[in-house]
Structure 1
């Protein structure tokens, strides 16, 4: 059964500050008739607009960029917190091009790529573009910062991995070996080794210094859409290598590599041993996966299912449910839970108890392809070409003030 949800007008924060402003709101639950209503600005107080609801909706709290709404009927009592962007960057990418991927560094830089194949480095504070990285041919599907925050790793349809200086825009290294487009990457520790996966059904371990592929994992599951890497404790048997590892392989011994495959599977491998640790059957193609703790892994599928599992016993999920929001497209770990985005423009937070408590507004039904954080803000990349920036302080204040 699909999870119940509350949907609020994407620009509610602007609409409710107009005289007699209104913002539409909907409650949806499988097996019940949807309830459509409005929140209304009915006056002013010393702290701002007074907003009221009807048809079972009531406003619990209102901030500059946030609102908390309760919906109650005979069978349901649900609270949702909605957060508007602190900033929307509309000019980093062409307005007719979707954003494939983005990442941000705590040092104040962002990197993103679009369906025109353009790769941009920009300032997270202002959205000002610093430089364009030229060198890939065709679409660039993945971009991420190394832990230093001044080096960038990218991969794309041209089957190449590239390492760039964010400061100069120069490409320092190119790695070749995939037989089809590269869809995702992960960085081992500080980045001497990296992992890539792609449409050739493989994941590959690389040494950046020598541009050498140190090992290949064949999944047998079609496209490998996503990967995630985590250090795990000795309780998890990661297997033993069949052949001795290269001396260029550094920091892989305790790493578990999770791979999400088109073949309806989430697979886990010991990165050092290349040995399969688990193989979890999923409802559909796995689009995204992330470790939300040392032992907890979450994945999302093309048909909208989310599965949270303990890697010590993946066949008995901690929680599994279906969202009525279209495909699950990205996941970003945060405080024991995760933000996730979907194909209908939703972006929401699931806490460590696996409850959905908060929604990020802004996209008007356009898919949100990526969600990342620099520790102070959440950033999203959308099909409408906009990069939206949400304050984690707004999120924390909204949740704390209503608990």
Structure 2
């Protein structure tokens, strides 16, 4: 089975227990990170952190929990999160503008009920620390209630195959090392993470921060939006720009391909939703009706109907063929930051429509719409019935949400929590994962696990049966706003 690729968007550039069969909810578990950090540079034990400008690696443990130390990178941080880095609606200027691509790392596996989240941030590629003989990176590993463990990595040379020979100081273990990845463990804390460096970076697509991206179903094309005011279609293989999509008045906040891979859906701060031809860059449909900027979109089945959510607090269903609004699915009274649509479990009562659905509604039956709301609420609504299914109150504003299955969902908040919920009983989360205080900006179901990205540049992959988390490096503390996957190219990943 080909290994999907991961796409994520950052200003330059999903771990939780997964269950695919119904099971009773279990008590919530609050899981915090036990970060393993590596940075070439000066060692500053008095500040409880490490500083450096070349690399910053991180790791986590299934059983450890801790908030990250305050960083020394010139940005104020709390619990490992960059305070100045909020979701794109509150973003700061960023230096990075690249879209990066990673090679595959391992076979698939199965995730434990309480996986191994951890908190930290990446400064550059994992293997950049040891590009010269005797290059050195400092390490620190922290767990709550325990003294911080410090150490270092040193490159002693290269093998005949060109792979770095890296040794760790006492308390740390270097596992598998390749030209693009390194596995580091801290046995004392049962901490282990594989850090993956990108093999390609697309730097010329946009001039400023990338706020959203997607990849076509066939894997040949990418589409992305930026704070430079542009939305572009490009070749996923080499980053060559193919089309410039022009028509929104203000910033374009979200974009995605239709299942065909030939049509693009976008939403902007001009409160308009547009459909574009990827072949000739023409705008074929414009939807108007929202009173505030559009923050996210979703496509129902094959794309006869689409969904949008807005700053005006509404989520709307649209008919692409008639260029008309089929109805307001929910009016929340608070901005809706993200949505996701999925098939509901058969045992879930989605309610009954108050009036017969329009014949123009295609594929809405049996679907549930998730709403990630600014007022700290995650809401489930029957897509066809328009009836509320559940309402869960979190610790802070919800930024994103996704389905793990017809039963289990994930949702990320502004204060860094990732909630796993059973839609049949949302009174108590299955677990709450907390890697850092940085906002959770994107969540994506990935094989038998998920990919998540945060406002401190963290982008990580959790899969079942792995005793370590995969960390995609080089975000350099810049927020990673969006993650996408592709299955066309075996053993590869892409993020932006």
Normalising to structure 2: TM-score of the pair?
Answer: 0.73
Residue 194 (str. 1) matches residue 194 (str. 2):
no
User: Per the alignment, do residues 356 and 252 of structure 1 end up closer, same or farther by CA in structure 2, a change over 3 Å counting?
Assistant: farther
Matched ranges for 1:257-336 at <5 A: 257-336=369-448
- 1:7 pairs with one of 25, 37, 40: 37
Matches of 1:363 and 1:226, distance apart in 2: 22
Matches of 1:239 and 1:266, distance apart in 2: 18
Matched position secondary structure for 1:88: strand
User: Per the alignment, do residues 257 and 356 of structure 1 end up closer, same or farther by CA in structure 2, a change over 3 Å counting?
Assistant: farther
* Structure 1 unaligned regions, length at least 5: 381-386, 388-403
- 1:351 pairs with one of 463, 472, 486: 463
Q: Which residue of 2 aligns with 1:400?
A: none
Matched position secondary structure for 1:213: strand
Q: Which residue of 1 aligns with 2:225?
A: 113
Q: Which residue of 2 aligns with 1:244?
A: 356
Residue 52 (str. 1) matches residue 167 (str. 2):
yes
Deviation (angstroms), 1:55: 4.1
Matches of 2:362 and 2:408, distance apart in 1: 24
Residue 99 (str. 1) matches residue 216 (str. 2):
no
Deviation (angstroms), 1:219: 3.9
Residue 27 (str. 1) matches residue 57 (str. 2):
no
Q: Which residue of 2 aligns with 1:16?
A: 130
Residue 77 (str. 1) matches residue 190 (str. 2):
yes
- 2:475 pairs with one of 354, 358, 363: 363
Q: Which residue of 2 aligns with 1:396?
A: none
- 1:255 pairs with one of 355, 360, 367: 367
Matches of 1:193 and 1:341, distance apart in 2: 28
Q: Which residue of 1 aligns with 2:85?
A: none
Matches of 1:353 and 1:298, distance apart in 2: 19
Q: Which residue of 2 aligns with 1:391?
A: none
2:164–2:179 Cα contact (<8 Å) kept = no
1:293–1:336 Cα contact (<8 Å) kept = no
CA offsets 1:138-171 (integer angstroms, 9 cap, x no match): 1111100000011000001000000001111000
Matched position secondary structure for 1:378: strand
Matches of 2:170 and 2:205, distance apart in 1: 41
Tell which has more relative contact order, 1 or 2 (C-alpha 8 A, sep 6+): 2
Matches of 1:196 and 1:298, distance apart in 2: 19
CA offsets 1:170-212 (integer angstroms, 9 cap, x no match): 0010000101000000000010000100101010000011111
Deviation (angstroms), 1:220: 2.5
Matches of 1:219 and 1:378, distance apart in 2: 37
With 25-34 and 163-172 compared, the bigger mean Cα shift is at: 25-34
With 110-119 and 32-41 compared, the bigger mean Cα shift is at: 32-41
Deviation (angstroms), 1:363: 1.1
Q: Which residue of 1 aligns with 2:493?
A: 378
Aligned length: 377
Matched ranges for 1:132-171 at <5 A: 132-171=244-283
- 1:67 pairs with one of 179, 182, 185: 182
Matched position secondary structure for 2:128: helix
User: Per the alignment, do residues 355 and 215 of structure 1 end up closer, same or farther by CA in structure 2, a change over 3 Å counting?
Assistant: farther
Deviation (angstroms), 1:33: 4.1
Matches of 1:299 and 1:221, distance apart in 2: 20
1:372–1:378 Cα contact (<8 Å) kept = no
With 50-59 and 339-348 compared, the bigger mean Cα shift is at: 50-59
RMSD of aligned Cα (Å): 1.8
Matched position secondary structure for 1:344: coil
1:83–1:360 Cα contact (<8 Å) kept = yes
Deviation (angstroms), 1:112: 0.4
- The runs of at least 4 aligned residues of structure 1 exceeding 6 Å deviation read 353-356
Matches of 2:435 and 2:260, distance apart in 1: 36
* Structure 2 unaligned regions, length at least 5: 1-30, 39-54, 56-123
Normalising to structure 1: TM-score of the pair?
Answer: 0.89
Deviation (angstroms), 1:282: 0.6
Matches of 1:25 and 1:129, distance apart in 2: 40
Q: Which residue of 2 aligns with 1:185?
A: 297
Matches of 1:356 and 1:327, distance apart in 2: 22
User: Per the alignment, do residues 99 and 238 of structure 1 end up closer, same or farther by CA in structure 2, a change over 3 Å counting?
Assistant: same
1:2–1:29 Cα contact (<8 Å) kept = no
